[in-house]
Structure 1
């Protein structure tokens, strides 16, 4: 195993920790929800942060429309005695995301070759085609060429 592959596997393990976390944003957003759960008013949070009550209301609105910065979220969480967590949650084990991309890319490459061979009346069996897709998929995953994530 190459150093590059070992490093990639370490990153994959880190990302997999977030998978399946069932993290859902509350309808009122995290700031307002946590603030209310703590029994803290907007004015009290504003005092703890050294800002105005209007700034807290603005932050709560900005969170809901996606306009708040990560720095603001972290500062607000800390002012409420919380830890701010930021993550990407993959739909599946991250290695399966890589496998799916490699399979997609391999099928596309083999498909082009198959069409050229068919024009020359040299078609191959479905079984042989699938073997070639599997072989190419493993090769693509190992080498991770620069165009790996390009779909065309």
Structure 2
């Protein structure tokens, strides 16, 4: 399987201002965004579209308050696999991609685990059911370690743009 190489796109100071604003509030109209970054609307829209076309702006989402929707339990699950083969990993990734409880899934190193999941469910009973009837039934899962979030200290979707030149 060939390894994908990412091509880095150069963004200038104006692009960084646009990206910072849309990360804070993606509901801004083009007119509002243009005013905030010091551009007229047409060049601002062209830049936003160029950032989208380059794949830098991937999608626009709305962030919901999970607790107000009755999803009070957040779990971080470390999962070990019995074999480290592309087929095992593909099977696991395909399965967890279909679980709405899974907000994030990472293939990781540095732990006694191969994957780290961030899962949101209503309560411990739902978590127990999810773990026993879905996660542990995926072919190749050999170990599970769960941790539960007590409090969100930092919860951001914004990337640090200060590193961009």
- TM-score bin, normalised by smaller chain: under 0.3
TM-score by length of structure 2 reads 0.21
Q: Which protein shows a greater Rg?
A: 1
Name the structure with the higher strand share.
2
TM-score by length of structure 1 reads 0.22
